[in-house]
Amino acid sequence: MKRNTLIAIAAAGAVIAGGTIGGVALASGSGGGEQELRGTEQAAAAVDISDRDDDGRDDDRDDRDDDAEREQEQGRDQSQDAGQGQDGDSRYSRVTALALSEAPGFVTDLERDHRDNGTVVWEVDIFGTDGQWYDVEINEDGTEVLRSHLDNDDDDDDDDRQVIPSSGIDIVEAILIAEQHTGAAFKDADLDDDGRHWEIELRGDGYEHEVKVAVATGEVTAYEKENDDD
């Protein structure tokens, strides 16, 4: 994960039905009430109730409801497989929230790192409220801080400039947007030097995906994919 030494706070800009019901009006004229009533009774008797089940609903309607439920369930499963929706949101939010509880500030980088021993660790870079950089490592479940330290790396170029936006979408929102755009699995995300875009790297279907998301609007402004050789 990158580290820059000069910090600037800038405002990136914050952007973060009805229907009608028709009825049937019944009117009665003089002397016609009894005849209309008999006609209504005959029409009711002619209704075919053979397609109704025990709860009085049409079998066809039940089938349509079942199909709709199955489609909704399949949609939720696909979103969860891609790391989207509530599961993905809660996972990333849990990791960043835990890291910020350890080092309050602004998350500029999040990486899902596969270690040589087979474990998965979340690496979080934070520009602290005290004006210093922190590295925090979280376990795969996002439930435990494994390591946290002040980053005193002096190897960076002093001419580099990192702008921290004062408004706009955060890193979790940017990741979810990139996942929805690509359908791929998240790998790494970081804030670019000018503080205007989130740069997200994802992998899936044999490709490496790179997505840029505008901080101010949440719009995907650039997208590239290439064969994943890893």
In degrees and rounded to multiples of 5, residue 12 shows phi and psi of -85, -10
* pLDDT classification of 20: cutoffs 50, 70, 90: very low
The SS3 assignment for 139 reads strand
Q: How much of the chain exceeds pLDDT 70, in percent?
A: 58
Flag whether 152 is in a domain. yes
| pLDDT tens-digit series, residues 25-67 | 333 344 444 444 445 444 444 444 444 555 555 555 555 555 5
In this prediction, residues 198-220 reach a mean pLDDT of: 97
Helix extents (H) in 103-212 = 171-182
Question: Does the pLDDT of residue 193 top 50, yes or no?
Answer: yes
Identify the pLDDT of residue 65. Answer: 56
Question: Does the pLDDT of residue 215 top 90, yes or no?
Answer: yes
List the 207-214 sheet strands across, edge first: 145-150, 133-139, 120-128, 105-114, 185-191, 197-204, 207-214, 220-227
Question: Does the pLDDT of residue 98 top 80, yes or no?
Answer: yes
* pLDDT classification of 77: cutoffs 50, 70, 90: very low
**Residue 166 CB: number of other CB atoms within 10 A?**
13
CB-CB contact of 10 with 166 (8 Å): yes
Flag whether 187 is in a domain. yes
| pLDDT tens-digit series, residues 138-190 | 999 999 999 999 987 655 555 467 899 999 999 999 999 999 999 999 999 99
Q: Which domain holds residue 86?
A: 6-13+82-227
- Dihedral of CA atoms 41, 43, 44, 48 in degrees, nearest 10, equals 150
Contacts of 128 (CB under 8 A, 6+ apart): 103, 104, 105, 134
Flag whether 222 is in a domain. yes
**Residue 56 CB: number of other CB atoms within 10 A?**
7
Flag whether 166 is in a domain. yes
Q: In this structure, is the dihedral angle defined by the CA atoms of residues 165, 171, 173 and 175, taken in order, positive or negative? A: positive
State the CATH number of the domain containing residue 213: 3.10.450.40
Flag whether 27 is in a domain. no
Of 5 and 191, the structure prediction assigns the larger pLDDT to 191
Flag whether 211 is in a domain. yes
Flag whether 52 is in a domain. no
Question: Does the pLDDT of residue 211 top 60, yes or no?
Answer: yes
Does the pTM exceed 0.85? no
In this prediction, residues 59-79 reach a mean pLDDT of: 49
* pLDDT classification of 23: cutoffs 50, 70, 90: very low
> Structure tokens of 209?
């995906």
Q: Considering its fold, how many domains does the chain have in total?
A: 1
Flag whether 41 is in a domain. no
